Amino acid sequence: MSRPSPIRRFFSALWRGLTWFRLALSNLLFLAFLVLIYVLYFSGGPPPQPEKAALLLNLSGTLVEEKSEVNPLQALAGEPSPADREIALRDVLDAVHEAAQDPAITALVMELDFLVSAGISKSMEIAAAIDAFKASGKPVIALGDYFTQDQYLLASQADEVILHPMGAVPLEGFASYRNHFREALDKALVSMHVFHAGEHKSMAEPFLRDDMSPAEKVITSAWLQDLWGEYIGVVESRRNLPAGSIDRYINRYAERMAAAGGDAARVAQEQGLVDTLLSRPDANDYLVEQVGAANEEGFYEAVFFEAYINSKRPMGLTPMMEDRVAVVTAEGNIMTGEQPPGTIGGDSLARLLRQTAEQPGVKALVIRVNTGGGSVLAAERIRQAIGRIREAGMPVVISMGAIAASGGYYIAAEADEIWATPTTITGSIGVFAAFPTFERLLDRLGVNTDGVGTTELAGSLRLDRPLDPQVAATLATGVNFTYREFLDIVATGRGLAEEAVQAAAGGRVWSAPDAQALGLIDELGSLREAVAAAAELGGLDRNNHAVEYVQQPLSPRDMLLRQLASRVGMSGSLPFMDTGLQQLLQPVATAARTLTELNDPTHRYMRCLGCAAP
């Protein structure tokens, strides 16, 4: 038998070498993957908790009910900027409640300089948790260089508020301003066809007007005043200020600044908004005394709240089997199909609700709703899923967050009980349809559209042709039909007469106290109180029951990314805020994002753009 040629032997050896290298590389990658699993789940966690420390609420980012989908590149790149970072409200609440019973936690310290947005509704839930913490006798101290309005609402809950001598507390009140695009659309030669049902459906106004209508100003002013009344009532009560102090502080701010020679920190202290003016080194020395411990670097001993609560929670590798209340979060715009966390998908949320209700041991379901609405078809899919769960005998309780309006109220209307925080914005019972066409722009550019079709409606939904009168009539009819269905659902679900529903509907936005008076909601209270009510409806002990917070099932890849992002987030580093240019372009980006999220195939929406809670 002849030997292979030298060339053949060379390539055979080369191939064997490549095969060996490929197998070795695969094994190394597999071992690296196992090491990563071990590091993420079984090691590399937070250091052991000190024997004596403060719980540090170093809130950096935006408070949300449910964190959005993890960006792989962001997770691997490291700590995101505060503008991009999300803080789960439940993490804050659970950490504060746990720390109140922990003898190793001697104080609660809030450092809020990098809190981008909280909102009054979420802040009030944290305030209730802080009140419970105070009952343990431990001090609560807020520390900041410059308190924004959101930050100060939380800071005012502290026993003592410390401000930097060069800082300020620039309160301004609540407002609702939004862009109006009628003139811009006209200049861009875009024809925006909007059909709406409900006299006060403010969603249509930005496309049809250049300003807010007088009627909408009256409505918006009413709920803004309600929310502002809650804000100043809480702050003045916590700070022991006379009624009207906050309004006077704001309205005479320029005068007081002039009298103080431009010293904003002194103005805040003189008006009772802060207790002490201290530089960071002096504040640290003071906190060392209050906490009773310092670390090796001389800083007051503290544990970050996220690391703290992650160390206290079970790993959750095995499903709960005991009798319990299940809580599912519905936050973000309502869109059709499958959607990631942070957005409400008609299919994905309906499936999650159904699967949760079918789990052994689940005796009641609470849905935490925080949305201004969206797609009609997606909302209907969710409503039907809730209806089937109730028909099977399981009680469903709605807990409204900051906003549960339009489509958000639609999915809530037929629940056994509806709870809302005192600062929830709800209602907006109305429907609209929107459809843009660009025939005028194309005509200006010299682009002509022509052709033939088999029916009168063939090609009538093209964006490059004028809207066909039959299509316009169809959209208007569909909107009116959906609006009547909406009214019937509310009347049936809330046990209200048709006349009462019509008086509360029309697209009008209501504050929670007004909505309760109208019968649109049952009770004012927090998520914890709604869970307790659901437990009672499910036959469990109202004051002693298990709770499971359910999230969309994550793939192994997403679980790794979320765990990695969580570990990276423990570093506590605080990068720079985003640029002024990004802030300047934010309204345009928001409008563009809203348009892309209007994905209902029938072009019908139950959406409230003008009711974003402060």
Total residue length of the chain: 614
Q: How far apart are the first and last CA of the chain?
A: 87
Torsion angle defined by CA atoms of residues 457, 462, 465 and 466, in that order, rounded to the nearest 10 degrees: 70
The secondary structure of 130-179 as a DSSP string is HHHHHTTT--EEEEESS--HHHHHHHTTSSEEEE-TT-------------
Active-site residue among 375, 406, 428, 511? 406
Q: Is residue 406 annotated as part of the catalytic site, yes or no?
A: yes
**Phi first, then psi: what are they for 364, rounded to 5°?**
-160, 155
How far apart (Å, rounded) are the C-alpha atoms in residues 597 and 336? 9
Residues 6+ apart with CB under 8 A from 576: 81
Evaluate whether 481 touches 433 at the Cβ level (below 8 Å): no
Give dist(CA 50, CA 301) in Å, integer.
8
Give the number of C-alpha atoms closer than 13 A to the C-alpha of residue 378, restricted to the C-beta side. 33
Residues 348, 351, 353: CA angle, nearest 5 degrees: 110
- Are 412 and 444 in contact by the 8 Å Cβ rule? The answer is no
Query: Which residue in the list 67, 122, 138, 201 is annotated as catalytic?
Result: 201
The Cβ of residue 184 has, within 10 Å, a number of other Cβ atoms equal to 12
Residue 461 is classified by DSSP as T
| Contact by Cβ (8 Å): 333, 595 | no
Contact present, 231 and 249 (Cβ < 8 Å)? no
- CA dist 410 and 407 (Å) reads 5
List, in order, residues 6 or more apart from 56 with CB less than 8 Å away: 109, 110, 111, 302, 303, 304, 305
Give the alpha-carbon dihedral of 318, 322, 323, 328, to 10 degrees: -20
Active site residue 348: no
Q: Tell me how far CA of residue 343 lies from CA of 64, 333, 334, in angstroms.
A: 12, 5, 7
Q: Are 328 and 365 in contact (CB under 8 A)?
A: yes
Quick one: CA torsion of 376, 380, 383, 385, rounded to 10 degrees?
-140
Q: Please name the amino acid found at residue 472.
A: A
CB-facing half-sphere around the CA of 411: CA atoms within 13 A: 41
Residues carrying an active site annotation: 201, 406
